[in-house]
Structure 1
Amino acid sequence: MTTARPAETLARTFTAIEADGTYTLDARPAGDGRLLAPLDRPLLGWTRKPHGWCRDEACLPVHRAAAAETPEGVDVAAFAELVGRLAVIDEDERAVAFAEGAGPFAAGGLTAERAPDFTLDGVSLADFRGRKVAIVFWASWCGCRYDLPAWQERHEALERHGFTVLSVALDRAAEDARPWIAEAHAGRPSPHPALVDAEGLVAERYNVINVPTVVWVDEQGRIARPQDTQTATDLFRSMNGLDSARSLEALRRWVVDDDAGLDAEQVREHLRVPTMQERRARAHARLAVWLARRGRAQAARRHLDAAAALAPHDIAIRRGLMPLTGEDPFGDAYFALRTELEDAGIPLYRPLTPQE
Structure 2
Amino acid sequence: MFTVIDETGTTTLDARPDGTGRLLAPSGRPLFGWEREPHGWCRGDACLPVHRAAGAETPDGVDVAAFAALVGKVAVVDEAERAVALADAPAGRPAGEEAPGFTLDGLSLSDLRGRKVALVFWASWCGCRYDLPAWAQRHAELEPHGLTVVSVAADRSAADARPWIEAAGDAHPALVDTEGAVAELYGVINVPTVVWIDEEGRIARPQDTQTATDLFRSMNGLDSQASREALRRWVLHGDAGVGPEHTRLRAATPGEQRARAHARLAAWLAREGRVEAARRHVAEAAALAPHDVAIRRGLMPLLGEDPFGDGYFALRAELEEAGVPLYRPLPTAADRV
The residue identity in structure 2 corresponding to 1:223 is: I
Aligned equivalents of 1:296, 1:272: Cα separation in 2: 34
Task: Give the Å deviation of 1:264.
Answer: 4.2
111 and 284 in structure 1: CA distance in 2 versus 1, 3 angstrom threshold: farther
Q: CA-to-partner distance for each residue in 1:155-209, whole Å, 9 max, x for gaps?
A: 0000011100000001111011111111111xx6xx1000000111011111100
The answer to whether the 8 Å contact 1:83/1:103 transfers is: no
Residue in structure 2 matching 1:240, options 197, 220, 225: 220
Match of residue 188, structure 2, among 208, 215, 220: 208
User: Which of 76, 79, 103 in structure 2 is aligned with 1:88?
Assistant: 76
1:318 aligns with 2:318: no
Q: Which residue of the partner structure matches residue 166 of structure 1?
A: 150
The answer as to 2:109 corresponding to 1:136 is no
**How far apart are the structure 2 equivalents of 1:57 and 1:202?**
24
TM-score (norm 2): 0.96
* CA displacement at 1:129 relative to structure 2: 0.5
Which of residues 56, 76, 79 in structure 1 aligns to 2:67?
Answer: 79
Q: 2:39 aligns with which of 26, 35, 51?
A: 51
In the alignment, which residue of structure 1 is the partner of 2:160?
A: 176
Instruction: Return 110-119 or 274-283, whichever deviates more.
Output: 110-119
In 1, the alpha carbon distance for the partners of 2:192 and 2:318 equals: 20
Deviation at 1:112, TM superposition (A): 3.6
Cα deviation for residue 102 of structure 1 reads 3.8
Indicate if the aligned counterparts of 1:135 and 1:168 stay in contact, CA closer than 8 A. yes
1:61 is matched by which residue type in structure 2? P
Aligned to 1:7: none
Q: Within the alignment, does 1:228 sit opposite 2:222 as a pair?
A: no
**SS of corresponding position for 1:96:** strand
> What value does the CA root-mean-square deviation take over the aligned residues?
1.5
The answer for unaligned runs of 5 or more in structure 2 is: none
- Verify: 1:275 aligned to 2:253, yes or no: yes
Q: Is the 8 A contact 1:110 1:116 kept in 2?
A: no
* Aligned residue in 2 for 1:17: 5
Amino acid at match of 2:148: T
| Per-residue CA distance 1:226-272 (angstroms, 9 max, x = gap) | 0000000000000000000110111011000011112444313xx31
Please give the alpha-carbon distance, in whole angstroms, between the structure 2 residues aligned to 1:248 and 1:103.
32
Identity of aligned residues (%): 72
In the alignment, residue 63 of structure 1 is paired with which amino acid?
H
Is 2:279 the counterpart of 1:301?
yes
Tell whether the 8 Å contact from 1:253 to 1:260 is kept in structure 2 after alignment: yes
1:32 is matched with 20
What are the Cα deviations for residues 265-295 of structure 1, in whole angstroms up to 9, with x where unaligned? 4313xx3110110000000000000000011
CA contact (8 A) 2:90 2:252 kept: no
Query: How many angstroms apart in 1 are the aligned matches of 2:313 and 2:91?
Result: 38
Superposed counterparts of 1:102-121, under 5 Å = 102=90, 112-121=96-105
Relative distance call for 1:292 and 1:110 in structure 2 (3 A) is: farther
Number of matched pairs: 334
Q: Displacement, 1:39?
A: 1.4
Q: Residue 292 in 1 paired to residue 291 in 2?
A: no
Partner amino acid for 2:64? V
What is the TM-score of this pair, normalised by structure 1?
0.91
1:32-72 per-residue CA deviation (whole Å, 9 max, x = no partner) reads 11100111111111111111111111111111100111000
Contact 2:90 2:251 survives alignment (8 Å): no
